[in-house]
């Protein structure tokens, strides 16, 4: 008999001992019901209502202005079908203070299977809800931050595209090596000049003035654009820098603004390929412009002074010095000849193993007291390795 008692559950003791709040009501769900018939000590502690005060009252006494009544929409149907209903909302203690309550309501049935009471197990989840809210707020802040980062990145990418477009356009007017060097320099360095050794190539279209007179302005521009475009491809191939286009003349430096290996050899091979490129220029001009393009090229190697000259509003990369004048004067010697390349002694000495030449002997150059030894380049002895 004693052993039987040991294994018998005392429901009242069990309910009173539970850490969760327990509330039992009548089965009448119509207002003003249901009515509370039992609460345990944990309910009293959680709500501030004593057992004596709350028995006979409706659980709605725990509701208030901020209670979300929408959570009860499916409660009646769920409970009347004998299922467990769960919910969470803001409720109020006896003293009016708010707390979040989460609870489960279970229908209690008699031997016939009829529902005669509802048992609700309740928990104060205020700390959990507030933590969830803080987490949601943090996640929202993070979402906004990421959105701002995306917007900033979008603007930055658009700015980079615009800067690249501007830089690309700028490079059409200023040689890329000059731009690259300028970007690495400070304001003082940009305005500073420097002494360099460079090979200087001058290429001029022979008889361009009468050609231009026979063409319309748009045809002249078309001719020069085709000519400059195809010649520029060759020049870049040999690491040359187009210092400037002056009318129909191209001025190219090999070794300025950035020193390069074997500028003399590169400049001569570049000149030979420029002569070959005249065939492609003639083909591209086609029937639009029925003119043969003939050029003269002069190359000299020597010391130059290079730097950005101008005002605060406008700078221009310039190469000056006696070597520039000498190179131009050598090119002028080809005035009455067809597609001739002339080089100075300083270029010849460095390229003798790479090219075949015909000596012109010593010639008088305008502006020079001493005569210069000049050579005509015929062809290449061996191809130039391009790195």
Kindly report, residue by residue over 294-346, the tens digit of the pLDDT.
Answer: 999 999 999 998 887 666 666 677 889 999 999 999 999 998 899 999 999 99
Q: Quick check: 40 pLDDT over 60? A: yes
Output the CA torsion sign for 7, 12, 13, 14: positive
HSE-CB at 56 with a 13 A cutoff on CA atoms is 2
**Of the spans 54-58, 242-246, 255-259, 360-364, which averages the highest pLDDT?**
54-58
3-state secondary structure of 198: strand
Q: What is the mean pLDDT of residues 21-49?
A: 93
Cβ pair 304, 320 in contact under 8 A? yes
Q: How far apart are the C-alpha atoms of 222 and 372, rounded to whole Å?
A: 38
Q: How far apart are the C-alpha atoms of 378 and 374, rounded to whole Å?
A: 13
For the chain, where do the domains classified as CATH 3.30.70.1230 start and end? 186-380
pLDDT at position 296 is: 96
Q: Quick check: 14 pLDDT over 60? A: yes
Q: How far apart are the C-alpha atoms of 308 and 162, rounded to whole Å?
A: 25
pTM passes above 0.85: no
Kindly report, residue by residue over 182-204, the tens digit of the pLDDT.
Answer: 555 555 555 556 899 999 999 99
For the chain, where do the domains classified as CATH 3.30.450.20 start and end? 2-124
HSE-CB at 240 with a 13 A cutoff on CA atoms is 31
Q: How buried is 9 (Cβ within 10 angstroms: 0-12 exposed, 13-18 middle, 19+ buried)? A: exposed
Q: β-pairing, 98-109 with 85-92?
A: antiparallel
Architecture of domain 2-124: 2-Layer Sandwich (3.30)
Which residue from 342, 344, 319 is spatially nearest to 332, judged by alpha carbons? 342
pLDDT at position 369 is: 80
| Average pLDDT of the chain, as a whole number | 87
Classified by CATH at the fold level, domain 186-380 comes out as Alpha-Beta Plaits (3.30.70)
Token digits of residue 13? 């003791």
pLDDT at position 364 is: 85
Q: How buried is 6 (Cβ within 10 angstroms: 0-12 exposed, 13-18 middle, 19+ buried)? A: exposed
3-state secondary structure of 318: strand
pLDDT at position 12 is: 79
Q: What is the DSSP letter of 131?
A: H
Q: How many CB atoms lie within 10 A of CB 212?
A: 18
Q: What is the mean pLDDT of residues 356-378?
A: 89
Output the CA torsion sign for 300, 303, 305, 307: positive
Kindly report, residue by residue over 213-251, the tens digit of the pLDDT.
Answer: 999 999 999 999 999 999 999 999 999 999 888 888 999
Q: How far apart are the C-alpha atoms of 268 and 341, rounded to whole Å?
A: 8
Listed in sequence order, the residues at least 6 apart from 370 whose beta carbon sits closer than 8 Å to its beta carbon are none
CA separation, residue 123 to residues 86, 114, 387 (Å): 12, 27, 79
pLDDT at position 357 is: 95
Token digits of residue 132? 């969830």
pLDDT at position 84 is: 94
Let me know how many helices (H) and strands (E) the chain has, helices first: 13, 13
State the pLDDT confidence band at 1, using cuts at 50, 70 and 90.
very low
Q: What is the mean pLDDT of residues 26-38?
A: 91
pLDDT at position 179 is: 55
Q: Which residue has the higher pLDDT, 173 or 104?
A: 104
């Amino acid at each position: 008999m004693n052993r039987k008692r040991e294994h018998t559950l005392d429901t009242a003791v069990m309910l009173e001992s539970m850490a969760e709040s327990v509330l039992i009501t009548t089965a009448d769900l119509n207002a003003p019901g249901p009515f509370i018939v039992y609460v345990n000590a944990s309910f009293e502690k959680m709500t501030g209502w004593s057992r004596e005060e709350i028995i006979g009252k409706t659980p709605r006494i725990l509701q208030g202005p901020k209670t979300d009544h929408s959570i009860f929409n499916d409660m009646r149907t769920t409970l009347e079908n004998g299922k467990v209903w769960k919910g969470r909302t803001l409720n109020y203690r006896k003293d009016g203070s708010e707390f979040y309550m989460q609870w489960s309501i279970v229908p209690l049935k008699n031997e016939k299977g009829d529902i005669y009471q509802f048992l609700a197990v309740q928990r104060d989840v205020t700390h959990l809800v507030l933590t969830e809210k803080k987490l949601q707020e943090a996640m929202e802040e993070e979402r906004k931050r990421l959105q701002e980062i995306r917007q900033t990145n979008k603007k930055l990418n658009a700015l980079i595209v615009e800067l690249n477009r501007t830089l690309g356009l700028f490079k059409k007017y200023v040689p890329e090596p000059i731009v690259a060097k300028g970007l690495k320099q400070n304001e003082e360095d940009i305005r500073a000049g420097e002494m360099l050794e460079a090979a200087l190539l001058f290429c001029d279209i022979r008889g361009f003035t009468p050609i231009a007179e026979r063409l319309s302005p748009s045809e002249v521009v078309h001719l020069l654009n085709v000519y400059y475009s195809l010649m520029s491809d060759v020049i870049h191939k040999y690491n040359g820098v187009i210092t400037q286009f002056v009318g129909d003349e191209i001025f190219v430096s090999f070794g300025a603004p950035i020193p390069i290996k074997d500028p003399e050899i590169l400049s001569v091979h570049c000149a030979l390929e420029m002569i070959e490129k005249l065939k492609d220029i003639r083909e591209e001009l086609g029937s639009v412009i029925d003119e043969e393009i003939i050029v003269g090229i002069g190359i000299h190697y020597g010391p130059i002074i290079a730097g950005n000259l101008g005002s605060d509003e406008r700078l221009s990369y310039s190469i000056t010095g006696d070597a520039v004048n000498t190179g131009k004067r050598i090119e002028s010697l080809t005035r009455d000849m067809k597609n001739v390349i002339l080089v100075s002694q300083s270029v010849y000495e460095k390229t003798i193993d790479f090219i075949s030449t015909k000596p012109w002997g010593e010639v008088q150059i305008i502006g020079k007291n001493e005569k210069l030894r000049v050579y005509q380049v015929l062809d290449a002895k061996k191809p130039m390795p391009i790195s």
